[in-house]
Amino acid sequence: MGKWTCWLLVLCLTPTTSFATQFFNEIGWFEPDSQLHRLLQYPAVVEDIYRNNNSQMIWFDLQQSSKLEFQLELIHHASFSPLFSRQLNYLQFYRKSNRWYEYDVLATDTLLLYLSYAENAKTEGNEWFFDGKMNESLPIPPNSALIATHRAISQQALGDLIERYTPDSSGYQSLVDTYLHLVKFQKLETPLYTQEGIKKAGDKLANREVLLHRLEVVDVDLLNVRKDVTWFDNTLESAVKQFQRLHGLKEDGIIGPDTIKWLNLAIEKRLSILAINAERIRYWPVQRDTIIVVNVPSFEMKYWARGQQLFASKVVVGRKARPTPVMTTKLDSLILNPTWNVPWKIMVEDIIPKVKEDVNYLATHNIKIIPKWGSQDIISPAEIDWKNLKPSAFPYRMTQLSGNANALGLYKFNTPNRRAIYLHDTPSKGLFDETQRAFSSGCIRVENADRFAVTLLESQGLTFEQDTSVETKQSAEPVANQSIPLKNRIPVHIIYQTAWYEEGNVHYREDIYRLDRFRYTKG
């Protein structure tokens, strides 16, 4: 039996009670009334680690412990784990108080907590980062992580271990680098930028220096901005447009209320945005081989096949009252000229109230009433007492026939899932011109859906001509109600990233569903 296997067997057989910390009392590292007795998450495991290390301190290299503390700082700023925040506060207290034995033991225990978090974030991230806080203790890290910990201690390579359990993507590192860039602005008392009315190129500015400093905070390129003028010149306009682009605003170079709101965003709040989005990267898919990714706050979708980005477009997502969920599903087919089975919530809350106001609404929108899904029978609207009808008691179903006016447009990208969330075309093309595009009832409307349909099929070796159910690729309108199965199902990841790195800069977006739950402090 190998050395590390024997060590793990001991861990499994050791009682996991607070009495395990009696060992540290006996060797004189801390007193029986030490707070550490209640702080340790894995007391038995930690005791065995130190017994195996001949009762020697582990974190004598502060450069390695600083790596651990920095990861804890990010999680603390992300504000989803009171447990990690508490452990970090005590670590900092012990370090500043020169209580090195207690610091050492808590650091080892918290390292195990961090490894368990890193392992479980891949599966539990949706709950931690979106649905609530991480309030409960985490399980002991898997054997592979415990073996890696033992090896790192023996080789004095704890910093390397921490790095192996930290995302190594360029996107993550860029968010962290930006975080570190912002930290240096924390203690500077930068005044808020103020102005009267709106400002555009050619106008006088009373607070140009403050404006330049606020632009510098988010690393806007100011190299070519003139420093010898006090008014709103063309070089400053270019910098303002870059700032607007990085925040998803209209790039008009005009400083109005929305631009000012982002300019004056507190440093502490911006750090929290960076931290939570950096941690979310642990949960998102790493591969970009064949995948569709929709980022809800950016209102964008991208499609990769064989490692190449083949298509990108604007999208319309769910409005605040009916948000598009963070989820993973698979696209299995393209449906041409689909019908729309009206979801119950939309029928009850949207359509029936409109029918009550206008009895011709159903006919105008080509909506039929049927007894149940799959039925060929049609119920006449004239048979229903709309005036006295309680919408929630409506006993039938509604379906909208295919055509240019159909809510799904001419293309439905079918992703079977229990939430009935899918990608589709739309007749309301004008909504794609809006900068904020949260208008749907949860599903995702794709701009240039016709191009996406062609790209999708061609990437799978299919074309409209090759499919016998379709007359011709150049038809003005695809054949109604036809489904083209894909040769290979494509993973679809609907993500929620309010800050990300792209093309040399970190971009920020509005937290439209208020999923970035921060404990804001003055910054």
The residues pairing with 423 across neighbouring beta strands, listed in sequence order, are 413, 444
Q: Mean pLDDT throughout 26-39?
A: 86
Tokens read off for 453: 């349909």
Confidence of residue 16 (pLDDT cuts 50, 70, 90): very low
* 205 and 346 both lie in a single domain: no
Q: 4 lies in a domain?
A: no
* Residues whose CB is less than 8 angstroms from the CB of residue 515 and which lie 6 or more positions away in sequence, other chains included: 129, 130, 496
Measured on CA atoms in the order 290, 296, 301, 307, is the torsion positive or negative? negative
Do 278 and 337 sit in the same domain of this protein? no
Out of 13-22, 201-210, 356-365, least confident range: 13-22
| pLDDT for residue 369 is more than 50 | yes
**404 located within any domain:** yes
Please indicate, yes or no, whether residues 156 and 258 belong to a single structural domain of this protein.
no
pLDDT of 266 over the 60 cut? yes
DSSP 130: I
Domain membership flag for residue 6:
no
Residue 248 lies in a domain: yes
Query: Which residues are CB-neighbours of 25 under 8 A, at least 6 positions away?
Result: 31, 32
Whole-number mean pLDDT of the chain?
89
Provide the CATH number for the domain around residue 501.
Answer: 2.40.440.10
Report residue 476's pLDDT band, with 50, 70 and 90 as the boundaries.
very low
pLDDT tens digits along 170-211: 999 999 999 999 998 888 888 999 999 999 999 999 999 999
244 and 330, same domain (yes or no): no
**Do 377 and 429 lie in a common domain?**
yes
> How far apart (Å, rounded) are the C-alpha atoms in residues 181 and 515?
24
What pLDDT is recorded for position 518?
Answer: 52
- Examine the domain organization and report whether 134 and 87 are in the same domain: yes
Residue 467 has pLDDT above 50, yes or no: no
Report residue 412 as tokens.
Answer: 């439905």
- Domain annotation covers residue 521: no
Q: Is 366 left (phi over 0), alpha (psi -120 to 50) or beta?
A: left
- Rounded mean pLDDT, 297-312: 96
- pLDDT number for residue 57: 94
In a domain, 112, yes or no: yes
CA distance 239 to 232: 11
| pLDDT higher than 90, residue 157 | yes
- As a whole number, mean pLDDT of residues 432-445 equals 95
- Structure tokens that stand for 406 in this block: 């159909």
Q: What is the pLDDT of residues 388-426, one digit of tens each?
A: 899 999 999 999 998 888 999 999 999 999 999 999 999
Q: Which of 171, 191, 109, 187 is nearest to 495 (CA)?
A: 171
For residues 352-368, give the mean pLDDT. 92
Residue 60 placed within a domain: yes
Indicate if the pLDDT at residue 475 is higher than 70: no
Q: Which domain holds residue 434?
A: 283-466+476-508
Q: How far apart are the first and last CA of the chain?
A: 55
- For residue 466, is pLDDT > 70? no
pLDDT per position as a tens digit, 39-84: 999 999 999 999 999 999 999 888 999 999 999 999 999 999 999 9
- Residues 278, 305, single domain; the answer is no
Query: Which tens digit of pLDDT belongs to each residue from 110-124?
Result: 999 999 999 999 999
Tell whether 122 and 198 lie within a shared domain: no
Do residue 59 and residue 79 come from a single domain?
Answer: yes
Which pairs from 49-52 meet CB under 8 Å and 24+ separation?
49/108, 49/149, 49/150, 49/153, 50/23, 50/24, 50/105, 50/108, 51/23, 52/7, 52/150
Please check whether residues 383 and 405 belong to one and the same domain: yes
424 and 447: one domain? yes
* pLDDT value for 33: 82
Report yes or no on 471 lying in a domain. Answer: no
Task: Give catalytic residues, as residue numbers.
Answer: 424, 443
d(CA 152, CA 155): 5
Statement to judge: residues 316 and 228 lie in one domain: no
pLDDT of res. 465: 59
Best CA proximity match to 316, nearest among 452, 455, 426, 451 = 426
